[in-house]
Amino acid sequence: MKTKIASMLTMAIVMMFAVNTFGQKNQEVVKEQKIKVNFQCENGKAQIERELAKTPGVKEVIASMETKEVTIKYVDGKTTKDALVKAIEKIGYSTEFSKGAAATKPSCAKSCAGDRPKP
Ligand SMILES: [Cu+2]
């Protein structure tokens, strides 16, 4: 009788383990990518945070006015660093990873000039 209970307990523990492992496989892995972007003002920051958040797989976007670094949390496998760089370029900014024509996009200071009070 005692061995029966012991083996049932063992079974239960093994099953719990199996369920746990299976659950973890289905969990999304969130990764973080930091990209320096050439925005200059609050408008640029807000625009990047708002627009980039619409990119599939992106969970969170925080652009720092101080470092001009955009921290992106994304679901592993749903997007890549290159795709994020492309998405930022599409919004209208160049990044530290931009190449060719994309690297020479007008800086935020120019693109947002109309929204800012004239000096
Ligand atoms: Cu700007």
Q: pLDDT tens digits, residue range 11-61?
A: 765 666 666 666 566 788 999 999 999 998 999 999 999 999 999 999 999
User: What does 53-81 look like in DSSP terms, one character per residue?
Assistant: TTSTTEEEEEE-TTT-EEEEEEEBTTB-H
One-letter identity of residue 115 = D
Residue 25 included in any domain: no
Q: What is the mean pLDDT of residues 55-71?
A: 97
Rounded to the nearest angstrom, the distance between the alpha carbon of 99 and the centre of ligand 1 is 21
User: Domains in the chain: how many in total?
Assistant: 1
Q: How far is the CA of 6 from the centre of ligand 1 (A)?
A: 67
CATH code of the domain in which 56 resides: 3.30.70.100
Note whether residue 22 is domain-resident. no
Residue 28: how many CA atoms within 13 Å on its side-chain side? 13
pLDDT of 77-99, one tens digit each?
999 999 999 999 999 999 999 99
- Look at residue 104 in the predicted model and tell me its pLDDT: 85
For residue 67, list its beta bridge partners. Answer: none
Whether 118 has a pLDDT exceeding 60, the answer reads: no
Say how many Å lie between the CA of residue 92 and the centre of ligand 1: 10
Ligand 1 centroid to Cα of residue 63, in Å, is 12
Distance 81 CA to ligand 1 centre (A): 23
Q: pLDDT value at position 76? A: 96
Average pLDDT value for the chain: 84
pLDDT band at 107 (very low <50, low <70, confident <90, very high): confident
Three-class SS state of 88:
helix
Measured in Å, residue 95 CA sits from the centre of ligand 1 at: 14
Whether residue 118 is contained in a domain is answered as no
From ligand 1's centre to the CA of 38, what distance in Å?
9
Range of the domain at 49: 30-113
